[in-house]
Structure 1
Amino acid sequence: MGSLILSVDGMGGDNAPDVVLDGLKRFADQRSDVSFLVHGKASVLEPGLSARGLSERCQILHHDDVISMSEKPSAALRRRNGTSMWGAVQSVKAGEAAAAVSAGNTGALMAFAMMSLRKMEGVHRPAMTAIWPTVTGRSIVLDVGANLEADSDQLVTYAIMGEAYARAVLGTAKPTIGLLNIGSEEEKGRDTLKLAAERLRDDALGLDFRGYVEGNDISTGAVDVIVTDGFTGNVALKTAEGTARLVASYVRDALTSSTMSKLGAGLAASGLKKLKHMMNPSRVNGGVLLGLNGVAVKSHGGTDAEGFETALGLAASLADSNYMDEVARGLIRAANGVMAEDQA
């Protein structure tokens, strides 16, 4: 096996296992130091891996059952044993792999990861991340759906985790942080946000907090990490996805509306190709449930091979980083700050 081992749910996703195996092939071609534990039905996975020349890089761990994409998390938990998704997460728990990746049922994966990997000490509730394309590169948004509400302590925890995550994934030495609000003015927003902002300004935390940011600041790359509650983050994410599809539709219609438009599209082919690449959701595929004692990456269920390759790369980046140690140190600083306030 390679020096880095990733655990993969071979049966999770709308188009598994073909897309999963194609993504494995793409990633394996780029990273010769990585090998894989592939969980699922051996009779299906063996020929697929062999056809792609991956047999020597992959160990198949057989599981008879698969969690469906529509299954409720509570039902999935009751029958978790013997499923490919549970097996993928358990390999991380057992120390057999550095990270797990699945394109399967989001709710089930969150529930499995919470039950198996457990929360880090000092984390009240884990947060789900999203990598957001911006005009300057990429940013991190959290929470995007793990928790509908978040108090000030949880928002501070999200900031600590998001900063360490951004350093590991974006390679930014000192990520900047902003709190998502309805305005940038200090007097705006709920008391929860104001209290969180006050704590994030504490130099003892060691964070580069830039204050409040608005929704339009996310895509401009105003800060590297945008912190919010799961309800707001999920609405923002779904709105952005819908807007991207609308813009793509407008561009497509405009470029095919007439003969002159089609000729113009031909002349602008290189620029349009770049635009298509920049808007490709496969480039930013992969969300991570931060705050657990292990790494579990959620790939979009309907992703293509390039997208699953991206999710594997995200898992490898986190596994190669000191992300969890940095989060643990940040949580200790936050806890010490709270204790100092109480004593005062």
Structure 2
Amino acid sequence: MRRRSYLRGLSTAAVGLVLAGCSSGGSDGDDGATDGDAAGGGGGATDTTASGGNREVDRAIAAAIGELNTALAELSGAQDRFAADESFEFAGVADRADAARSELDGIESEPSDEQATAVAQVRAYVRVVEAMNGAFLTLVDVEPDAADAETAIRDEEYDRAEGLVTNVENATGEAQTRLEAVRGDVENLRADVLESRDSVEVSRIREAYAQLLSLTNGFHALAGANGDLIAGRTAMSAGRDRADANEYAAAETEFERAGDRFGAAGETATAALDARPPERVTGPLQRTACRSGHLVTATEHFVASARAAADGDRSEAADEQEAAEEAVNAAEDC
């Protein structure tokens, strides 16, 4: 099963590249401390950088960034595989985010103004990684329900489908809230501060965030559209029952209600597709848009059939009924 299975073995080389700056930065700091000791400058905790900051602060920043860069590499790799519907293992990166925050919380020396700005930026980086990790794990956990809901809709098991869709919509809504809460942090990450330290690539952080938000929005839209499909199917079934009982005015009302819900499903799916979501959710959205279009056509014919029957035009009613059923069958072929 795909659930949480992205190997931390993104290749060692890939993670190594991300952390190249961290390794060199740590080495420089150690050399500086050795030089200071040799010159009688005392312990590393009181050493200062050329800009007046404390080396202990620089080491903590570098260590925190190293944890976050590794976390982002693992998370991005898992997201890419999930978006492509490939098998992966992923246990989450909360431990790395916690370790990064601990590095910053453990700073005892007074930072320079430049270091204080860097610490604030790295704390924002921590919040972004934490939010992305939580949202992604939620998405991976709920994805099987999204797939099961589509199967249930296809098999006309609408009660089961409704429960699954509700669960997906609630879970993806929570993931959206989590990601939106750090949008400001993502937008305010400063390349001039972070990219001067330890191989942080702000554009890479933003790309991973945007991909995850797009995935989450896509699954949330799919759940909403499928919810409308289910409601439309229920109303359409009620309309058929009314028509069979020769209650044509009531049947027309139910068919119109069904058409409204199918139309809403199509609008939601189309809007989500216009946002160009990752491939992982594009197919399901396209199927939903296709189904809703045919079902809108079906309800139009059902309405016309009910009206003709009410007017006593049996031939017209039969023709419209046949056209409606053909549209329903076309929806099943999407």
How high is the TM-score relative to the length of structure 2?
0.25
Of structures 1 and 2, the one with the larger relative CO (CA 8 A, separation 6+) is 1
Larger radius of gyration: 2
Larger strand percent? 1
TM-score w.r.t. the length of structure 1 is: 0.24
Answer 1 or 2: which has greater helix percent: 2
